[in-house]
């Protein structure tokens, strides 16, 4: 049995301005923004560990506010190395101290190409980096609540061939895959991860809007059932100055029988459930064998 956790929170930096027009004054303080979020999330890791978690997935772009609501090149300076940058370094130390497998979604700067990515780094419980997944689908659009301009800040993963677009990581707690936010809407993502051996798929997101809210209750359940995996979907919870866009939270774990798993956490910023990975090797109670009968 794997007890796994998701975080659902918002930007922890208290010095955010009240108006969008004042964001420029943060330019010299971006390090403080990141530092406040790292401290906040290390504390959430401690709380998850106290509650018995052995694997924790942090939120999409967790070291910062969700800056893609607008277009401001200032935020590009927050991109960092996915191995030695301050965010991954802090999470590696926390993982080793607490004995946790940590999935840490950051804003990545590739030192060789100079390109930026929305990237999840997978860290073993001894602090080793096992690898990373780069978000494959990047949204740019507007809904009734606001805009999301992610293509302004980073590109989509260009992996493929020998470097799997959807890698699966063999960890001490099981085989983990990652899909990030917009990826969840594309039908081949969960199936590609399941076919590659994933037992658990973590799907951190920053999402809002009426249609997104409705489908949030459906997509993970259907994908978990179709592919006989566990899926943990997390979203930010609350709003962030100065944009004041409301994020609905509602994180949960979906099981392979198409049901939400019981929520075990009493902490407002943690979602915690027990995942019976052993059931994945047993026959589907419906009598279906979708992997065998796939065409």
In DSSP notation, 146-187 reads: -EEEGGGT-BPP--BTTB-SS-EEEETTEEEEE--GGGGGSH
pLDDT tens digits, residue range 9-27? 999 999 999 999 999 999 9
Catalytic site residue 211?
Answer: no
Task: Provide the pLDDT for residue 114.
Answer: 97
pLDDT of residue 136: 98
What is the overall mean pLDDT for the chain? Answer: 97
- DSSP 3-state assignment of 92? helix
Q: pLDDT at position 265, please?
A: 92
pLDDT at 40 over 80: yes
Q: Which of 47, 57, 60, 124 is catalytic?
A: 60
Provide the pLDDT for residue 161. 74
Please state, as a whole number, how many other Cβ atoms lie within 10 Å of the Cβ of residue 162. Answer: 5
240 flagged as catalytic = no
Of the options 3.20.20.10, 3.60.110.10, 3.30.559.10, 3.40.50.2000, the CATH number for the domain spanning 2-277: 3.60.110.10
- Reported as a single tens digit per residue, the pLDDT across 83-142 is 999 999 999 999 999 999 999 999 999 999 999 999 999 999 999 999 999 999 999 999
pLDDT at 162 over 80: no
Provide mean pLDDT across the span 233-257: 98
Q: CA 259, CA 186: separation in Å to the nearest integer?
A: 20
Asked whether residue 207 carries a pLDDT value surpassing 80, the answer given is yes
* Residue 260: pLDDT band with limits 50, 70, 90: very high
Q: Which of 108, 124, 132, 135 is catalytic?
A: 135
The answer to whether 272 touches 260, Cβ cutoff 8 Å, is no
Catalytic (active site) residue 60: yes
Predicted confidence (pLDDT) per residue in 47-80, tens digit: 999 999 999 999 999 999 999 999 999 999 999 9
The structural domains of the chain, with segments of one domain joined by +, span: 2-277
pLDDT at 249: 98
Identify the active-site residue in 47, 124, 132, 181: 181
Question: What pairs with residue 246 in β-bridges?
Answer: 239
- Percent of the chain, pLDDT > 70? 100
């Amino acid at each position: 049995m794997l007890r796994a956790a998701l975080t659902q929170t918002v930007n922890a930096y208290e010095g955010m301005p009240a108006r969008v027009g004042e964001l420029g004054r943060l330019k010299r303080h971006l390090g403080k923004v990141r530092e406040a979020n790292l401290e906040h999330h290390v504390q959430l890791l401690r709380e998850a560990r106290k509650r018995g978690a052995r694997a924790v997935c942090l939120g999409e772009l967790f070291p910062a506010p969700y800056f893609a609501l607008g277009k401001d090149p200032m935020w590009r300076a927050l991109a960092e190395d996915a191995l030695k940058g301050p965010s991954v370094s802090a999470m590696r130390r926390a993982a080793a101290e607490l004995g946790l497998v940590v999935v840490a979604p950051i804003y990545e700067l590739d030192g060789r190409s100079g390109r930026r990515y929305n990237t999840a780094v997978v860290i073993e419980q001894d602090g080793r980096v096992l690898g990373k997944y780069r978000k494959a689908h990047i949204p740019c659009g507007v809904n009734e609540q606001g805009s999301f301009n992610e293509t302004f800040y980073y590109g989509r993963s260009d992996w493929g061939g020998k470097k799997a677009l959807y890698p699966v990581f063999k960890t001490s707690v099981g085989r983990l895959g990652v899909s990030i936010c917009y990826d969840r809407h594309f039908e081949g993502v969960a199936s590609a991860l399941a076919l590659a051996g994933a037992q658990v798929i973590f799907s951190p997101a920053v999402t809002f809007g009426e249609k997104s809210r409705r489908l949030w209750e459906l997509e993970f359940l259907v994908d978990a059932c179709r592919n006989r995996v566990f899926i943990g979907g997390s979203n930010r919870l609350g709003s962030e100055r100065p944009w004041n866009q409301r994020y609905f939270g509602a994180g949960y774990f979906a099981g392979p029988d198409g049901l939400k798993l019981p929520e075990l956490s009493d902490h407002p910023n943690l979602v915690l459930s027990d995942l019976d990975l052993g059931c994945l090797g047993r026959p589907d109670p419906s009598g279906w064998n979708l992997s065998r009968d796939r065409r």
